[in-house]
A and B are shown apart, each in its own frame.
Chain A
């Protein structure tokens, strides 16, 4: 199993090197096909690993193999290895599935309308392989140090792919923004790692948290007993910092600002990185460190509050966006916030909540991660097909596409039903369990998240109707929009099928915080009410957006202030702009730059001058005259003896 896991990692990396180095030598399509085949093998291996693990290890123990990489001190050793446990096995499946779908889909998507592959096709596939490698490496990391390395690498490959169209200024701005924001967050992650490992003396997940091993976590947290800063225990600080790292990648408020802009990348990239895999890295990180978070109620509360607020905020913004990819991006933020909240509400005051269903939130969160990856990738790929057909992201260029693109329309509808939480689609099961977990923590949490679930249903169907119905489609381009080639349609059908049936997986048997089977029971009150509220959201959307009518316009005018604020994402970007440009740049950077120019640069310029002058001054020694060489040699030897002798013997 370990061998296969290593192969799962090696294969995408080899594809990256191969396509990156030899790609330019081959026809574009060939490179793409090689990429797809490589990914197909990777996927088969990943499934094999996961099935092998869940079949043959009913106890769900952690299986790992590692080698020493850097010996910092005899105790603190950075290792490289692979760790298979329920969540990493599940993530292997999620990542490889979505990645394979995206690889296949891109064969059709990354072509112009004559069917010729775009410039940089090979580069695109090599970056996709690099991303897949990094993401797989992240989830199987055996220690937090290795995880950090891969955390950075997914950030890098995300940067490369957002900026794939590097000649477009918008893409360049977007990838810089994404990279800077997530790097800033990663800085906190690194700080957290340092605080944590300074006390515990280990990077190793097995020693830090084990598999829901509360005793190990107790020990790890115990090494920090008595260490406090500003009245908050050190372990709390460490975990909050680590959460900030995760929040950067997972686009939690207020670090979410990069994700909507990241939609400048090719749409399949958005589906893979900014909907299904990389953005859940933060959730995965918290899940990995879950037992420690349980023991640090302060950190857990931060996660819960940030998660719950982000869920609402992003849903509100998603309700008014006109760019479909941006609307989907905010929907992603909101759904990830669901997962975060779900993780966080499973513990309170240092204890797991929920009696015999303890850890339900953890399981629900992972379940939602799984189903969301599938249906959100589906929605993004549908959006890609639509954008490919009408050459625009704006929904006023779409309208009424149902007649032209029936397969895409149905697939999108399935995605919407799944995310809205309508049974029997996948989202219903996972979201329902999240809501149950929230209600167990407290009525307020439950009501809040139920409201957000209702908003989810509303905004998704709003988008759906505006794309596929509303009014008759006006053809803007030279071609009539139609369903796309099979390479793009097949992934839609596969993902739609998964979204239909994935909910019936007995997830509690496979993935729980401690590896023990968690029997879940349908809570009919919660299930009924959440379906009810979802139906209300859908009905409202149908009433407003199914057919062209003036109601939305009137509503917009009636609440123009609020509408404008939501459309502009509650001015978060402007706020950042103000803080960075007006406060940080003017107030902090300028004085520092002045100091740097005058003193630091001055010092080094002087040093450089000095070096240069010294270099000029001593050049005569090297005159090319062999006699003088011998003379200097002898002088050197004698001086060496004389000076040492005088210093040692006389003084």
Chain B
């Protein structure tokens, strides 16, 4: 075997090394040093994250099952940034009394799922893709049940396992149909295989719908999203924030690769129409549900459903601009959503309050937290000059770059939904700044790691939009990646 193939996957190997070190630390270091484990993980991961920014290696390996190029490199780095923030946010929580005995597992599972996501991003064969997907799915159930003393946490895990297994089954069903029709599972061969079937047929349409359902489950597209709210609400907040951005982002990228490469030529119009319907449903239904929520974690769950619809606007474009704007959207979404979750987590850790009404008068007692939350809401709502505005702008540009009238209509629908979404994002701001409350959350100082994470997020919200070089370089990276859109 040619071991030099491993050089194609430096990011995966680095991540694995971090995982092993954390695992060894957890297993063999004396009990007294265990309190330092979270920080050790953060530092190790930080070092690895910086190192992973080294110029990418390009090429295919393992019988062309795995591909590394500029776009996957950038996507993995974006995910790394998000995971780093999540790790930083959870330092305090994992040192809590009830959780601390299992704190090692939290970090190990997070790192392992990330590895799975990396495989999804780079997979060019459905077998590897499914392995990655499952690696990224099953440990999340364990993570959702992490606060097992709480009924909600256990319930969340149970629901997650049940629906995840079901969606895997559907996905595998779809894949076996694909295999049945084309006789291969390689993306590159499939694109020819699909064309060779001669025309659009029922078998592949069903396969396509099932693949969409399977991956749509991870991205929580409507109607495959129903698990989202319960799991987000019940799972520990650190896990929720991980689920809402990282897991979603990686699945969206992999989704786009599958759609354009496997179903690129003959079926492009078919999947675009399917996705069209899903996007309209996702954005609208997500918004309609988000409006009614009083629990902030549930609220953010539906907001993330709706945001996933916007991410899909980049996918439906099926070109380089769409992919770059999708990645940019995910990056900005990471900062905005993690800022919101950071505040929720800090307050939850302090006093356990999670409903919007609890936030009444927060500005009076904790102005910085309120300010961070406000920026997060503004960015999620797409108010200029924050990053969320630019990401929405570019994703609309990406979708519109197809030039089709139907997609202009879609962009218009998305725009109207942006206005609706402003309503509920501003509800939170209103609660914090305008509503008066006698017994508002008392003044407190959050843990320094939580504050650092929030500072990173706020800096991201403010600067990622204004620094146009980020979007430009993402576009360039995608354009320079070979084999991404070859099949079209």
Contacts and interface: CB of A to CB of B under 8 A. Distances in A.
B223 A615 contact: no
Interface string A592-621: 000000000000000000011011101101
Nearest to B267: A648
A632 B202 contact: no
Given A611-B291, A648-B270, A637 B226 contact: no
A618 B230 contact: no
Contacts of A70: 468
A614 B223 contact: no
A647 interface: yes
B292 interface: yes
A644 B274 contact: yes
Nearest to A624: B230
B205 A645 contact: yes
Interface in A338-384: none
Contacts of B224: 633, 636-637
Interface string B180-224: 000000000000000000001110011011101100010000111
A612 B423 CA distance: 11
Contact of B159 (A68, A611, A626, A632): A626
Contacts of B288: 611, 614-615, 618
B468 A648 contact: no
Contacts of B16: none
A626 B163 CA distance: 8
A618 B222 CA distance: 13
Contacts of A559: none
Nearest to B158: A626
A585 interface: no
B277 interface: yes
Nearest to B209: A641
Interface in A38-92: 67-71
Nearest to A640: B209
Interface in B269-283: 270, 273-274, 277-278
A619 B290 CA distance: 11
A633 B420 contact: no
Contacts of A614: 288
B289 interface: yes
A600 B389 CA distance: 25
User: How many residues of A sit at the interface, in one of the four size bands?
Assistant: 20 to 34
A644 B289 CA distance: 26
Contacts of B274: 640, 644
A486 interface: no
A637 B209 contact: yes
Contact of A629 (B205, B226, B273, B472): B226
B162 interface: yes
Contacts of B273: 644, 647-648
A622 interface: yes
A634 interface: yes
A629 B468 contact: no
Nearest to B416: A607
Interface residues of B, number: 40
B206 A68 contact: no
Contacts of B162: 626, 630
Given A618-B285, A622-B226, A637 B170 contact: yes
A68 B209 contact: no
Contacts of B469: 67
A633 B229 contact: no
B289 A640 contact: no
Contacts, number: 96
Given A644-B270, A644-B274, A629 B206 contact: no
Contacts of A637: 170, 209-210, 212-213, 224
A287 B201 CA distance: 69
Contact of B223 (A633, A643, A645): A633
Contacts of A632: 223, 226
B413 to A, nearest CB: 13
A641 B229 contact: no
B227 A615 contact: no
B167 interface: yes
A612 B291 contact: yes
Contact of B212 (A71, A615, A640): A640
Nearest to B166: A630
Contacts of A647: 273
B223 to A, nearest CB: 4
A70 B469 CA distance: 9
A615 B226 contact: no
Contact of A615 (B202, B208, B289): B289
A635 interface: yes
Q: Which of A68, A618, A637, A638 has the most CB of B within 10 A?
A: A637
A649 interface: yes
A626 B154 CA distance: 13
A14 to B, nearest CB: 15
Contacts of B201: 649
A645 B199 CA distance: 13
B226 to A, nearest CB: 4
Contacts of B292: 615-616, 619
Interface in B389-435: 420
A618 B305 CA distance: 15
Interface in B70-84: none
Nearest to B206: A641
A629 B225 CA distance: 8
Contacts of B213: 633, 636-637, 640
Contact of A622 (B158, B200, B209, B229): B229
A67 B227 CA distance: 46
Contacts of A611: 287-288, 291, 420
Contacts of A633: 163, 166-167, 170, 213, 217, 223-224, 226
A566 to B, nearest CB: 45
Interface in B136-173: 158-159, 162-163, 166-167, 170
Nearest to A641: B209
A611 to B, nearest CB: 6
B291 A615 contact: yes
A153 B415 CA distance: 28
Contacts of B227: 626, 629
Nearest to B160: A626
A622 B217 contact: no
Interface in A450-486: none
Interface string B287-303: 11101100000000000
A206 to B, nearest CB: 21
A644 B208 CA distance: 10
Contacts of A645: 202, 205-206
Nearest to B217: A633
A630 B158 CA distance: 13
A649 B222 CA distance: 24
B472 A68 contact: yes
Contact of B202 (A69, A629, A635, A649): A649
Given A622-B226, A629-B159, A629-B227, A68 B420 contact: no
A614 B201 CA distance: 36
A629 B277 CA distance: 19
Contacts of A629: 159, 163, 226-227
A68 B468 contact: yes
A71 B401 CA distance: 14
21 contacts: A611-B291, A611-B420, A614-B288, A615-B292, A616-B292, A619-B292, A622-B229, A622-B289, A624-B230, A628-B226, A629-B227, A630-B162, A633-B226, A634-B170, A637-B170, A637-B213, A641-B210, A644-B273, A647-B273, A648-B270, A649-B200
Given A622-B226, A636-B224, 8 more contacts: A611-B420, A633-B167, A633-B224, A633-B226, A635-B223, A637-B170, A640-B274, A640-B278
Q: Pick the 8 closest A-B CB pairs, nearest first.
A: A641-B209, A636-B223, A637-B213, A629-B226, A615-B288, A640-B209, A641-B206, A645-B205
